[in-house]
Amino acid sequence: MTPVDYKNANLKNQIANVVNGVLRQYRFQSIKEFKAVLNQFNVTVEEVRGQAAGKPYQGLVYAATDNNGKRVGVGIKSSKVGRNVGLAALLRRIGFNKSWMKKHPPSPELKNIITNAIKTAPTKKEFIHTLQSKNIGAVIWQNDSGHIYGVTYIDHNSKCVFKGSALGKEYSAGIINQRYNPGENELHEPVWEQGGNSGSREVSLSEAILDLFSLESVPHPAIDDPEPGNPYGKKKKRKKKILQSL
């Protein structure tokens, strides 16, 4: 699958190819994990919900990012991307993936690769590079002080996505944080950092609403960044950082 290049023409078609490819090929169990995979191919997604004309609505908005994860160009509502890439279809896919992955646990080889990377890589960036050399993406979620509160592993070999704690405590964010942030001060408000891209911008709620109900998409500034426990809930604004898998 070819990452999106926002400088090239047919941006909507590029985004559609990535979104459809990820939905067909990868097995993820949450919107957050779906977003982590998209980020590997220079695409981001936001869920938006609210009311318009007294009626509730829910939807998805997709957008391109640059190689550092910074959102570029315009957001595109899911109906403009394709027929089967909206929120309802995504949730159905997530349900199917959960059932499938219960019967297909992660391979011992994947765990061994991650274990060796944790033991041998002296920095977060080298940890990400080491896994990347084995065709495994690592998405690290951290706050502005560097405290790591989440990690997602994307196995491009099996096309399966796992949060660290799902693999076991020894692969969790707590262990990664201890390894790369010894003695850190955790008393800071959280933002997120993703091992895939850096400096990604997300969709603001008000402008995402415009995306869903206007004929043309519009550019978006940063969205309210979610707390780790509720990645899509309504929170006050946070800063956000992403770490690119170089």
Angle in degrees, 0-180, between the axes of helices 87-103 and 11-25, rounded to the nearest 10: 30
Task: Enter the pTM of the model.
Answer: 0.72
Q: What would the pLDDT profile of 99-143 be if each residue is shown by its tens digit?
A: 999 999 999 999 999 999 999 999 999 999 999 999 999 999 888
Q: List Cβ<8 Å contacts ≥24 apart for 1-6.
A: 1/25, 1/41, 2/41, 3/40, 3/41, 3/42, 4/41, 4/42, 4/43, 4/64, 4/65, 5/42, 6/42, 6/64, 6/65, 6/66, 6/72, 6/73
pLDDT of residue 198: 39
pLDDT of residue 229: 43
Give which of 65, 155, 170 is closest to 101, Cα–Cα.
Answer: 155
**Contact assessment for residue 140 and residue 181, using Cβ atoms and an 8 Å cutoff:** no
Convert the pLDDT of each residue in 62-92 to its tens digit: 999 988 778 888 889 999 998 899 999 999 9
- pLDDT for position 181: 87
User: What is the reported pLDDT for 210?
Assistant: 45
Tell me the pLDDT of the chain averaged across its residues.
80
CA nearest neighbour of 198 among 149, 128, 133, 134: 128
Give the pLDDT confidence score for residue 184 in this predicted structure. Answer: 64
pLDDT at 243: 59
The predicted-structure confidence for 170-213, as pLDDT tens digits, reads as follows 999 999 999 998 876 444 433 444 454 433 344 444 444 444 44
- The pLDDT of residue 207 is 46
SS3 134: coil
